[in-house]
Structure 1
């Protein structure tokens, strides 16, 4: 089914999740305009995916937190956009100034601020990539499971509590919650012609379609949830914890964004995207099961103890995702996701090694 008469604007197109969304938009035939930070970023994407040439128009937005950052994009699109997918937001736990580096860009980067005077009335829906951390309770005792979270829940974390804690995870949680709150408040205050759908996924892993230049550029979630087992960062299972204990595959997240564009059931909804449990030991077990050649690289842990000591995570009610997306909706399980992610990382490691050897040879030639 072609959607060639529908125009979509995708922000942050060089990101882990957005790269999958871009691939899906192109495959389905949407007229796609995608923002990246620079012409160099756009060229890197096309070098990696030459089959996308001529099927996507790139625009350049250096800093999404700048007031009116997207104004020129909307002015240049004479026919306007039917849908907007906004994914651009910081995901970095290695920051020191939470307000400046996490919270402000997440809130100020909210693309709807540019729509009323520049986007035009033809925009039907904004699909916003939020996070399950806007829903969960950052202060809940992880050793005691509570009632399953639903889309009606909001994280009690505040900017002040995150900054005071000096905890980067809390800072990230606050940034995502406050950005989503700002989105809903914008709708309430301005009553624009478009409606809103917010996706709230937990830890996202999966194969990567974005340009990855070396092992230090693996995206944050794939890095701490999978790659750190391969690269030797994790030396023992004792004391090893994750910031959250549920996951969803990146391909599910991308598909949910696409399915939400024109689906009436997605109108003005928050939608949790949660597949299953994810723990350090589950990652270890799946890698050692499917990649016996990696056993020397991967710690063994305690194969029968799935959860870390004193961790009983609260579950998630994902009924709405099935209700909205219908019979075709199914979550990719952890085992499949881990296998596909590891295969992708091993492929990339070979590429990085080949590149390093090539650079050494060039260096030696001088």
Structure 2
């Protein structure tokens, strides 16, 4: 089993990555922004001692040298899984709040590993479908997205609005990581994870209904009756369950064959209308607030939608994806546990 550094341990995806790492016998140090967050995670995993679960405080990942101390460990790290990066659209300054933390955070952790953690053999980075999709092509039904695609967004377009800023932050950060490995030829190989919309159960000790990850807010809103008159547009029509994505992160750290590969991790299509139907079918108590067959919105584009190719994930990592129904049923259950 390996010694693993997991960054951003209180995040939606990282919390599931942590569970899987511990279940598989790895020993983990996870970075958090505060001691309070560390205490919450520690209290939720009472059976693991300091030798199996420990913490490093990194208050601001956008600071130069932010990870210099965190990457040093005894016993030394063999795997680093870097999930820490902002995903929200509530920003005033795209450069400072989205682009800088993503890019500096990613290159910063790689520099720190190269300088101070020669034992690290693999770095896994959470990127996004945002770094694959071409937003200028719209629904693009003639195209099949795969790991070969890169978002062509440039620096000027990146600061136009928060949505463009988010997509650019993921694109530029991932490209910076690949450039670093190519130029610096460090002691480690790289694997990047590119998921689209990430749905699935929340880890209750880190969450409230108000502090939900952006992707799951649509499920909360449907449960709360906000889609009764009209269903919100789906936006991104492909998804993955957070538990499958977390397992992909861990396997990409463990498997030799994942070295220097990009992974486009999706279970397939979904729509907000389908989510509402699944909630209605499995949770009749919400029926009065849910949309009906006739409620407008939330479907697929009339002219069709891009296709996707997730064969590399299946072949190299061997992951079988959960169904949309399984994911939504489990997510609703987890939201109920925090008061939905």
TM-score by length of 1: 0.87
1:364 equivalent in structure 2:
none
Structure 1 residue 188: Cα displacement: 0.9
Unaligned residue ranges in structure 2 (runs of 5+): none
- Structure-to-structure mapping, 1:104-119, within 5 angstroms: 104-110=100-106, 111-119=109-117
Asked whether 1:325 is paired with 2:317, we answer: yes
Report the counterpart of residue 214 of structure 2 in structure 1: 220
Q: 2:152 is matched with which residue?
A: 156
Say whether the 8 Å CA contact 2:230–2:296 is kept in structure 1. no
1:234 is aligned, of 215, 227, 235, to 227
Match of residue 198, structure 1, among 176, 192, 206: 192
Q: Quote the RMSD (CA, aligned, Å).
A: 1.9
Helix, strand or coil at the partner of 1:139:
helix
Tell me how far apart the structure 1 counterparts of residues 163 and 294 of structure 2 sit (CA, whole Å). 26
| 2:63 pairs with 1:66 | yes
Which residue is 2:20 aligned to? 24
- Tell me the alpha carbon deviations over residues 204-234 of structure 1, each in whole angstroms, 9 at most, x when there is no partner: 011112534532111111113x111112343
Q: CA-to-partner distance for each residue in 1:132-160, whole Å, 9 max, x for gaps?
A: 11001111122x41311010100111231
User: 2-side partners of 1:175 and 1:158: how far apart?
Assistant: 11
After TM superposition, list the pairs within 5 Å mapping 1:123-138 onto structure 2: 123-138=120-135
Whether the aligned pair in 2 keeps the contact of 1:16 and 1:208 (CA below 8 Å) is yes
Number of the residue aligned with 1:313:
305
Cα distance change, pair 70–193 in 1 and its aligned pair in 2 (3 A): same
**Secondary structure of the residue that 1:154 maps to in structure 2?**
coil
Give yes or no for contact 1:201–1:253 (8 Å, CA) kept in 2.
Answer: yes
Partner of 1:243: 235
How many Å apart are 1:66 and its aligned residue?
A: 0.6
Q: Are 1:334 and 2:324 an aligned pair? A: yes
Deviation at 1:292, TM superposition (A): 1.1
| Range with bigger deviation, 311-320 or 95-104 | 311-320
- d(CA) in 1 for partners of 2:296 and 2:214? 27
SS at match of 2:124: strand
Alpha-carbon distance in structure 2 between the residues aligned to 1:61 and 1:344:
28
1:310 is displaced (CA, Å) by: 3.9
Work out which of the residue numbers 144, 162, 169 in structure 1 matches 2:163. Answer: 169
Q: Report the TM-score, using the length of structure 2 for normalisation.
A: 0.94
Question: Deviation above 6 Å: which 4+ runs of structure 1?
Answer: 303-306
Aligned-pair CA distance for 1:323: 1.2
Q: Provide the rounded CA distance (Å) in 1 between the counterparts of 2:24 and 2:174.
A: 28
Tell me, what secondary structure is at the counterpart of 2:289? coil
Residue 358 of structure 1: aligned partner:
none
Cα pair distance change 1:98/1:69, threshold 3 Å: same
Given the alignment of the two structures, is residue 344 of structure 1 paired with residue 338 of structure 2, yes or no?
no
Q: 2:260 aligns with which of 248, 268, 290?
A: 268
| 8 Å Cα contact 2:10-2:206 kept in structure 1 | no
Structure 2 match to 1:7: 3
CA distance in 2, matches of 1:312, 1:169: 23
Change (3 A) 1:301 1:218: farther
1:301, 1:237 → 2: CA distance?
Answer: 11
Aligned length: 337
